[in-house]
Amino acid sequence: MDMQIPNLRHLRVFLSVTELKSITRASESIYLSQPAITQAIAKLEKLLGVSLFERHSDGMYPTIAGEAWQKRVSRALDYLNDATDDILKEHNPRDAVPKNMMAQISTTQLKALVAVCEAQNFSIASRNLGVSQSSVHRAARDLEKLLSVTLFEKNSIGISATRAAKTLSKATKLAFSELRQGVYEINALQFRDVSTISIGSMPLARTTILPKSILKFNERHPDVNVKVIEGPYPDLLQHLRQGDIDMILGALRYPSPADDVVQEALWNPPLAIVCRKGHPLLSQTKVSAADLAKYAWVVPAEKTPTRQAFEAIFTDANTPKPLRIVESSSQILIRELLLESDRLTLISAHQVEREININLLDCVDFPLEHTRRPIGLCVRKNWLPTITQSHFLSVLRDISENFR
Protein backbone atom coordinates (compact mmCIF):
# COMPACT_ATOMS: atom_id res chain seq x y z
CA MET A 1 0.00 0.00 0.00
CA ASP A 2 1.51 3.34 -1.09
CA MET A 3 0.28 5.52 1.75
CA GLN A 4 0.22 9.28 1.63
CA ILE A 5 1.99 10.63 4.72
CA PRO A 6 -0.24 13.25 6.39
CA ASN A 7 0.81 16.82 7.01
CA LEU A 8 2.66 16.98 10.35
CA ARG A 9 0.83 20.16 11.30
CA HIS A 10 -2.48 18.38 10.86
CA LEU A 11 -1.27 15.57 13.12
CA ARG A 12 -0.32 18.03 15.85
CA VAL A 13 -3.72 19.70 15.53
CA PHE A 14 -5.40 16.32 15.85
CA LEU A 15 -3.50 15.47 19.04
CA SER A 16 -4.32 18.84 20.56
CA VAL A 17 -8.05 18.46 19.90
CA THR A 18 -7.94 14.89 21.22
CA GLU A 19 -6.26 16.03 24.43
CA LEU A 20 -8.33 19.16 25.05
CA LYS A 21 -11.66 17.80 23.73
CA SER A 22 -12.37 21.16 22.14
CA ILE A 23 -11.49 23.07 18.98
CA THR A 24 -11.73 26.33 20.93
CA ARG A 25 -9.29 25.21 23.63
CA ALA A 26 -6.99 23.70 20.99
CA SER A 27 -7.04 26.99 19.11
CA GLU A 28 -5.88 28.83 22.21
CA SER A 29 -3.24 26.21 22.98
CA ILE A 30 -1.51 25.95 19.60
CA TYR A 31 -2.25 29.47 18.35
CA LEU A 32 -4.24 28.48 15.28
CA SER A 33 -7.63 29.83 14.28
CA GLN A 34 -10.66 27.63 14.81
CA PRO A 35 -11.40 27.46 11.05
CA ALA A 36 -7.82 26.30 10.43
CA ILE A 37 -8.18 23.56 13.03
CA THR A 38 -11.55 22.48 11.65
CA GLN A 39 -10.06 22.34 8.16
CA ALA A 40 -7.06 20.31 9.34
CA ILE A 41 -9.30 17.72 11.02
CA ALA A 42 -11.52 17.53 7.92
CA LYS A 43 -8.49 16.89 5.68
CA LEU A 44 -7.25 14.14 7.97
CA GLU A 45 -10.65 12.46 8.06
CA LYS A 46 -10.89 12.66 4.28
CA LEU A 47 -7.42 11.16 3.88
CA LEU A 48 -8.17 8.31 6.28
CA GLY A 49 -11.73 7.80 5.07
CA VAL A 50 -13.17 7.75 8.58
CA SER A 51 -14.58 10.05 11.28
CA LEU A 52 -12.02 10.69 13.99
CA PHE A 53 -14.29 12.52 16.43
CA GLU A 54 -17.80 12.39 17.81
CA ARG A 55 -19.17 15.88 18.36
CA HIS A 56 -21.11 16.28 21.63
CA SER A 57 -22.45 19.28 23.49
CA ASP A 58 -19.71 19.00 26.11
CA GLY A 59 -16.84 18.52 23.67
CA MET A 60 -15.23 16.40 20.95
CA TYR A 61 -14.34 12.81 21.76
CA PRO A 62 -12.31 10.44 19.58
CA THR A 63 -14.11 7.58 17.90
CA ILE A 64 -12.67 4.07 18.09
CA ALA A 65 -10.75 4.87 14.91
CA GLY A 66 -9.69 8.17 16.45
CA GLU A 67 -8.31 6.40 19.52
CA ALA A 68 -6.31 4.00 17.34
CA TRP A 69 -4.98 6.92 15.29
CA GLN A 70 -4.13 8.92 18.42
CA LYS A 71 -1.95 6.07 19.71
CA ARG A 72 -0.01 5.82 16.45
CA VAL A 73 0.35 9.57 15.93
CA SER A 74 1.66 10.00 19.48
CA ARG A 75 4.26 7.30 18.93
CA ALA A 76 5.24 8.77 15.57
CA LEU A 77 5.74 12.29 16.91
CA ASP A 78 7.63 10.92 19.92
CA TYR A 79 10.21 9.43 17.55
CA LEU A 80 10.64 12.78 15.82
CA ASN A 81 10.69 14.81 19.04
CA ASP A 82 13.30 12.55 20.66
CA ALA A 83 15.56 12.62 17.61
CA THR A 84 15.28 16.39 17.25
CA ASP A 85 16.03 16.91 20.94
CA ASP A 86 19.09 14.65 20.72
CA ILE A 87 20.42 16.50 17.67
CA LEU A 88 19.93 19.95 19.15
CA LYS A 89 21.38 19.00 22.54
CA GLU A 90 24.44 17.47 20.88
CA HIS A 91 25.14 20.52 18.75
CA ASN A 92 23.97 23.17 21.23
CA PRO A 93 24.40 21.56 24.66
CA ARG A 94 24.14 24.86 26.54
CA ASP A 95 21.04 26.12 24.78
CA ALA A 96 17.51 25.12 25.68
CA VAL A 97 15.70 23.23 22.94
CA PRO A 98 13.04 25.57 21.44
CA LYS A 99 9.57 24.31 22.36
CA ASN A 100 8.16 25.05 18.92
CA MET A 101 10.99 23.49 16.94
CA MET A 102 9.03 20.42 15.83
CA ALA A 103 6.08 22.58 14.85
CA GLN A 104 8.23 24.16 12.15
CA ILE A 105 9.37 20.89 10.53
CA SER A 106 7.28 19.75 7.56
CA THR A 107 6.52 16.36 6.07
CA THR A 108 8.07 17.53 2.79
CA GLN A 109 11.36 18.30 4.52
CA LEU A 110 11.46 14.91 6.23
CA LYS A 111 10.67 13.06 3.00
CA ALA A 112 13.52 14.91 1.30
CA LEU A 113 15.86 14.07 4.17
CA VAL A 114 15.11 10.35 3.97
CA ALA A 115 15.38 10.26 0.18
CA VAL A 116 18.76 12.00 0.13
CA CYS A 117 20.11 9.89 2.99
CA GLU A 118 19.18 6.72 1.12
CA ALA A 119 20.40 7.84 -2.31
CA GLN A 120 23.39 9.90 -1.16
CA ASN A 121 22.62 12.03 -4.19
CA PHE A 122 20.17 14.90 -4.72
CA SER A 123 19.45 13.99 -8.34
CA ILE A 124 18.60 10.35 -7.57
CA ALA A 125 16.58 11.42 -4.53
CA SER A 126 14.48 13.79 -6.63
CA ARG A 127 13.73 11.05 -9.18
CA ASN A 128 12.76 8.64 -6.40
CA LEU A 129 10.36 11.24 -4.96
CA GLY A 130 9.04 12.32 -8.36
CA VAL A 131 9.79 16.00 -7.76
CA SER A 132 12.35 18.47 -9.08
CA GLN A 133 15.91 18.39 -7.82
CA SER A 134 15.66 22.03 -6.77
CA SER A 135 12.66 21.19 -4.57
CA VAL A 136 14.55 18.42 -2.78
CA HIS A 137 17.62 20.58 -2.40
CA ARG A 138 15.58 23.47 -1.00
CA ALA A 139 13.69 21.24 1.46
CA ALA A 140 16.90 19.68 2.75
CA ARG A 141 18.66 23.02 3.11
CA ASP A 142 15.64 24.59 4.83
CA LEU A 143 15.75 21.76 7.35
CA GLU A 144 19.45 22.36 7.91
CA LYS A 145 18.80 26.04 8.50
CA LEU A 146 15.92 25.30 10.88
CA LEU A 147 17.99 22.88 12.98
CA SER A 148 21.21 24.91 12.63
CA VAL A 149 23.16 21.72 11.91
CA THR A 150 24.89 20.31 8.85
CA LEU A 151 22.97 17.36 7.42
CA PHE A 152 24.94 16.66 4.24
CA GLU A 153 28.62 17.00 3.42
CA LYS A 154 30.35 16.84 0.07
CA ASN A 155 32.84 14.06 -0.58
CA SER A 156 34.77 12.62 -3.53
CA ILE A 157 31.79 10.70 -4.89
CA GLY A 158 28.99 13.14 -4.11
CA ILE A 159 27.53 13.75 -0.67
CA SER A 160 27.34 11.88 2.60
CA ALA A 161 24.83 12.12 5.44
CA THR A 162 26.10 13.41 8.77
CA ARG A 163 25.33 11.72 12.06
CA ALA A 164 22.53 14.22 12.67
CA ALA A 165 20.98 13.42 9.29
CA LYS A 166 21.13 9.67 9.94
CA THR A 167 19.57 10.11 13.38
CA LEU A 168 16.65 12.15 12.08
CA SER A 169 16.24 9.98 8.98
CA LYS A 170 15.92 6.83 11.10
CA ALA A 171 13.40 8.53 13.40
CA THR A 172 11.43 9.72 10.37
CA LYS A 173 11.21 6.25 8.89
CA LEU A 174 10.08 4.84 12.23
CA ALA A 175 7.51 7.63 12.53
CA PHE A 176 6.17 7.00 9.04
CA SER A 177 6.01 3.28 9.86
CA GLU A 178 3.84 4.07 12.88
CA LEU A 179 1.49 6.11 10.70
CA ARG A 180 1.22 3.21 8.24
CA GLN A 181 0.37 0.95 11.16
CA GLY A 182 -2.34 3.41 12.16
CA VAL A 183 -3.84 3.40 8.68
CA TYR A 184 -3.82 -0.41 8.66
CA GLU A 185 -5.67 -0.48 12.00
CA ILE A 186 -8.27 2.02 10.83
CA ASN A 187 -8.85 0.03 7.64
CA ALA A 188 -9.26 -3.16 9.66
CA LEU A 189 -11.89 -1.43 11.81
CA GLN A 190 -13.76 -0.63 8.58
CA PHE A 191 -13.56 -4.30 7.48
CA ARG A 192 -11.24 -3.43 4.61
CA ASP A 193 -7.94 -4.77 5.88
CA VAL A 194 -5.58 -4.62 2.90
CA SER A 195 -2.46 -4.06 4.96
CA THR A 196 1.02 -5.37 4.20
CA ILE A 197 3.22 -7.45 6.49
CA SER A 198 6.91 -7.07 5.61
CA ILE A 199 9.21 -9.92 6.57
CA GLY A 200 12.96 -10.14 6.23
CA SER A 201 13.57 -13.84 5.75
CA MET A 202 16.74 -15.94 5.95
CA PRO A 203 17.13 -19.15 3.87
CA LEU A 204 15.99 -21.75 6.42
CA ALA A 205 12.73 -19.97 7.22
CA ARG A 206 11.91 -19.44 3.53
CA THR A 207 11.70 -23.17 2.87
CA THR A 208 10.06 -24.31 6.09
CA ILE A 209 7.84 -22.39 8.49
CA LEU A 210 7.33 -19.26 6.38
CA PRO A 211 5.46 -20.73 3.36
CA LYS A 212 3.26 -22.84 5.63
CA SER A 213 2.55 -19.83 7.85
CA ILE A 214 1.65 -17.59 4.92
CA LEU A 215 -0.80 -20.13 3.52
CA LYS A 216 -2.49 -20.68 6.89
CA PHE A 217 -2.60 -16.94 7.65
CA ASN A 218 -4.16 -16.08 4.28
CA GLU A 219 -7.04 -18.47 4.96
CA ARG A 220 -8.34 -15.88 7.44
CA HIS A 221 -6.79 -12.78 5.87
CA PRO A 222 -6.97 -13.29 2.10
CA ASP A 223 -6.64 -9.58 1.31
CA VAL A 224 -3.57 -8.93 3.45
CA ASN A 225 -0.33 -8.77 1.46
CA VAL A 226 2.81 -10.47 2.70
CA LYS A 227 6.04 -8.96 1.46
CA VAL A 228 9.12 -11.18 1.87
CA ILE A 229 12.49 -9.43 1.63
CA GLU A 230 15.65 -11.47 1.11
CA GLY A 231 19.19 -10.33 1.67
CA PRO A 232 22.26 -10.52 3.92
CA TYR A 233 21.47 -10.42 7.62
CA PRO A 234 23.20 -7.04 8.27
CA ASP A 235 21.05 -5.41 5.57
CA LEU A 236 17.86 -6.95 6.93
CA LEU A 237 18.76 -5.83 10.45
CA GLN A 238 19.26 -2.25 9.28
CA HIS A 239 15.90 -2.28 7.48
CA LEU A 240 14.24 -3.67 10.61
CA ARG A 241 15.72 -1.03 12.90
CA GLN A 242 14.56 1.74 10.55
CA GLY A 243 11.01 0.46 10.25
CA ASP A 244 11.27 -0.71 6.62
CA ILE A 245 10.31 -4.25 7.62
CA ASP A 246 8.28 -5.59 10.53
CA MET A 247 10.31 -8.64 11.51
CA ILE A 248 13.25 -10.87 10.60
CA LEU A 249 12.68 -14.61 10.49
CA GLY A 250 15.76 -16.82 10.55
CA ALA A 251 18.75 -17.94 12.60
CA LEU A 252 19.10 -15.87 15.77
CA ARG A 253 22.33 -14.10 16.66
CA TYR A 254 24.03 -14.28 20.04
CA PRO A 255 24.72 -11.95 21.64
CA SER A 256 21.76 -9.87 20.44
CA PRO A 257 22.78 -7.89 17.35
CA ALA A 258 21.56 -4.52 18.69
CA ASP A 259 20.14 -2.95 21.85
CA ASP A 260 16.91 -1.85 20.17
CA VAL A 261 15.79 -5.32 18.99
CA VAL A 262 14.55 -8.44 20.77
CA GLN A 263 14.72 -12.05 19.64
CA GLU A 264 12.35 -14.98 20.17
CA ALA A 265 13.38 -18.57 19.48
CA LEU A 266 10.75 -20.64 17.65
CA TRP A 267 12.54 -23.96 17.07
CA ASN A 268 16.02 -25.46 17.12
CA PRO A 269 16.74 -27.74 14.13
CA PRO A 270 20.13 -29.46 13.83
CA LEU A 271 22.28 -29.13 10.74
CA ALA A 272 23.03 -31.99 8.39
CA ILE A 273 25.63 -32.75 5.74
CA VAL A 274 23.70 -33.09 2.50
CA CYS A 275 24.80 -34.60 -0.80
CA ARG A 276 23.33 -36.10 -3.97
CA LYS A 277 21.68 -39.51 -3.90
CA GLY A 278 24.34 -42.13 -4.62
CA HIS A 279 27.23 -40.07 -3.25
CA PRO A 280 30.28 -42.23 -2.31
CA LEU A 281 30.08 -41.17 1.35
CA LEU A 282 26.61 -42.70 1.71
CA SER A 283 28.07 -46.19 1.38
CA GLN A 284 30.59 -45.71 4.21
CA THR A 285 29.66 -47.16 7.59
CA LYS A 286 31.56 -44.42 9.43
CA VAL A 287 32.46 -40.99 8.11
CA SER A 288 35.22 -38.87 9.66
CA ALA A 289 36.09 -35.19 9.33
CA ALA A 290 39.09 -36.25 7.24
CA ASP A 291 36.72 -38.00 4.82
CA LEU A 292 34.60 -34.85 4.55
CA ALA A 293 37.68 -32.73 3.87
CA LYS A 294 38.43 -34.69 0.68
CA TYR A 295 35.38 -33.26 -1.08
CA ALA A 296 34.45 -29.86 -2.46
CA TRP A 297 31.78 -27.93 -0.55
CA VAL A 298 29.11 -25.27 -0.94
CA VAL A 299 29.08 -23.07 2.17
CA PRO A 300 27.38 -19.83 3.30
CA ALA A 301 29.17 -16.53 3.89
CA GLU A 302 31.77 -16.08 6.61
CA LYS A 303 30.62 -15.26 10.15
CA THR A 304 27.17 -16.74 9.57
CA PRO A 305 26.10 -19.38 12.14
CA THR A 306 26.17 -22.20 9.57
CA ARG A 307 29.62 -21.20 8.28
CA GLN A 308 30.92 -21.22 11.85
CA ALA A 309 29.45 -24.71 12.37
CA PHE A 310 31.09 -25.87 9.13
CA GLU A 311 34.50 -24.65 10.24
CA ALA A 312 34.02 -26.17 13.71
CA ILE A 313 33.63 -29.67 12.18
CA PHE A 314 37.26 -29.60 11.07
CA THR A 315 38.70 -27.45 13.84
CA ASP A 316 37.30 -29.76 16.53
CA ALA A 317 38.77 -32.80 14.72
CA ASN A 318 42.11 -31.04 14.20
CA THR A 319 41.68 -31.59 10.46
CA PRO A 320 42.52 -29.02 7.74
CA LYS A 321 39.43 -27.38 6.31
CA PRO A 322 38.41 -28.11 2.70
CA LEU A 323 39.89 -25.62 0.25
CA ARG A 324 37.61 -26.21 -2.74
CA ILE A 325 34.54 -24.26 -1.76
CA VAL A 326 31.78 -22.27 -3.41
CA GLU A 327 30.31 -19.59 -1.15
CA SER A 328 26.57 -19.07 -1.60
CA SER A 329 23.30 -19.02 0.31
CA SER A 330 21.17 -19.53 -2.82
CA GLN A 331 19.00 -22.59 -2.34
CA ILE A 332 18.68 -23.09 -6.09
CA LEU A 333 22.42 -22.86 -6.75
CA ILE A 334 23.25 -25.16 -3.83
CA ARG A 335 20.81 -27.80 -5.04
CA GLU A 336 22.13 -27.76 -8.62
CA LEU A 337 25.76 -27.95 -7.52
CA LEU A 338 24.97 -30.94 -5.30
CA LEU A 339 22.96 -32.76 -7.96
CA GLU A 340 25.63 -32.37 -10.64
CA SER A 341 28.72 -33.22 -8.56
CA ASP A 342 30.05 -34.84 -5.42
CA ARG A 343 30.02 -31.56 -3.54
CA LEU A 344 28.71 -31.42 0.01
CA THR A 345 26.88 -28.73 1.94
CA LEU A 346 25.96 -28.07 5.56
CA ILE A 347 22.30 -27.20 5.86
CA SER A 348 19.18 -28.05 7.82
CA ALA A 349 17.52 -31.14 6.39
CA HIS A 350 14.21 -29.23 6.58
CA GLN A 351 15.46 -26.87 3.87
CA VAL A 352 15.82 -29.73 1.38
CA GLU A 353 13.03 -31.92 2.71
CA ARG A 354 11.28 -32.06 -0.66
CA GLU A 355 14.46 -33.08 -2.52
CA ILE A 356 15.15 -35.76 0.09
CA ASN A 357 11.61 -37.13 -0.15
CA ILE A 358 11.86 -37.56 -3.95
CA ASN A 359 15.30 -39.18 -3.67
CA LEU A 360 17.35 -36.41 -5.21
CA LEU A 361 19.39 -35.63 -2.11
CA ASP A 362 20.36 -37.46 1.06
CA CYS A 363 22.06 -36.87 4.40
CA VAL A 364 25.52 -38.20 5.30
CA ASP A 365 25.60 -40.15 8.57
CA PHE A 366 27.73 -37.78 10.64
CA PRO A 367 26.94 -36.66 14.22
CA LEU A 368 25.78 -33.05 14.26
CA GLU A 369 23.24 -32.97 17.07
CA HIS A 370 25.38 -30.35 18.80
CA THR A 371 24.78 -27.95 15.90
CA ARG A 372 21.17 -27.28 16.87
CA ARG A 373 20.67 -23.53 16.50
CA PRO A 374 17.71 -21.34 17.39
CA ILE A 375 15.55 -20.19 14.50
CA GLY A 376 13.11 -17.46 15.34
CA LEU A 377 11.94 -13.86 15.22
CA CYS A 378 13.80 -10.61 15.59
CA VAL A 379 11.67 -7.47 16.04
CA ARG A 380 12.18 -3.91 17.25
CA LYS A 381 12.07 -3.68 21.03
CA ASN A 382 9.28 -1.08 21.12
CA TRP A 383 7.38 -2.40 18.09
CA LEU A 384 3.60 -2.38 18.59
CA PRO A 385 2.07 -4.85 16.11
CA THR A 386 -1.42 -4.41 14.75
CA ILE A 387 -4.05 -7.05 15.47
CA THR A 388 -3.44 -8.49 12.00
CA GLN A 389 0.31 -8.65 12.53
CA SER A 390 -0.23 -10.23 15.94
CA HIS A 391 -2.33 -12.93 14.31
CA PHE A 392 0.45 -13.63 11.82
CA LEU A 393 2.89 -14.00 14.72
CA SER A 394 0.51 -16.47 16.36
CA VAL A 395 0.38 -18.51 13.17
CA LEU A 396 4.18 -18.54 12.99
CA ARG A 397 4.38 -19.80 16.56
CA ASP A 398 1.79 -22.52 15.90
CA ILE A 399 3.57 -23.75 12.79
CA SER A 400 6.92 -23.71 14.61
CA GLU A 401 5.42 -25.75 17.43
CA ASN A 402 4.43 -28.41 14.89
CA PHE A 403 7.99 -28.49 13.58
CA ARG A 404 9.35 -28.95 17.07
Average the pLDDT over 99-127 and give the result: 89
Domain positions in the chain are 8-170, 210-264+375-403, 271-371
Q: What percent of the chain has pLDDT over 90?
A: 77
Q: What percent of the chain has pLDDT over 70?
A: 97
Show the 3-state SS of the chain: CCCCCCCHHHHHHHHHHHHHCCHHHHHHHHCCCHHHHHHHHHHHHHHHCCCCEEEECCEEEECHHHHHHHHHHHHHHHHHHHHHHHHHHHHCCCCCCCCCCHHHCCHHHHHHHHHHHHHCCHHHHHHHHCCCHHHHHHHHHHHHHHHCCCCEEEECCEEEECHHHHHHHHHHHHHHHHHHHHHHHHHHHCCCCCCEEEEEECHHHHCCHHHHHHHHHHHHCCCCEEEEECCCHHHHHHHHHCCCCCEEEEECCCCCCCCCEEEEEEECCCEEEEEECCCHHHHCCCCCHHHHHCCCEEECCCCCHHHHHHHHHHHHCCCCCCCCEEECCCHHHHHHHHHCCCCEEEEEHHHHHHHHHCCCEEECCCCCHHHCCCEEEEEECCCCCCHHHHHHHHHHHHHHHHHC
pLDDT at 363: 96
pLDDT in tens, 329-379: 888 999 999 999 999 999 988 889 889 999 999 999 999 988 888 899 999
Average the pLDDT over 164-169 and give the result: 96
pLDDT in tens, 42-65: 999 999 999 999 988 888 999 999
Which pLDDT band holds residue 96 (cuts at 50, 70, 90)? low
Which pLDDT band holds residue 1 (cuts at 50, 70, 90)? very low
Cβ neighbours for 99, distance < 8 A, ≥ 6 positions apart: none
- What is 210-264+375-403's CATH number? 3.40.190.10
Contact yes or no for 342/298 (Cβ under 8 A)? no
pLDDT at 97: 53
| Statement: 271-371 belongs to CATH 3.40.190.10 | yes
Query: Residue 321 corresponds to which amino acid?
Result: K
pLDDT in tens, 373-383: 889 999 999 99
Q: Is the pLDDT of residue 290 over 80?
A: yes
pLDDT at 95: 60
pLDDT at 2: 56
CA-angle at 253, arms to 248 and 258, nearest 5° = 75
CATH for the 8-170 domain, from 3.60.15.10, 1.10.10.10, 3.40.50.1100, 3.40.50.800 = 1.10.10.10
pLDDT at 90: 84
Q: Is the pLDDT of residue 284 over 60?
A: yes
Average pLDDT, the chain: 92
Q: Is the pLDDT of residue 236 over 90?
A: yes
pLDDT at 94: 61
Query: Is 271-371 in the same CATH topology as 210-264+375-403?
Result: yes
pLDDT at 103: 79
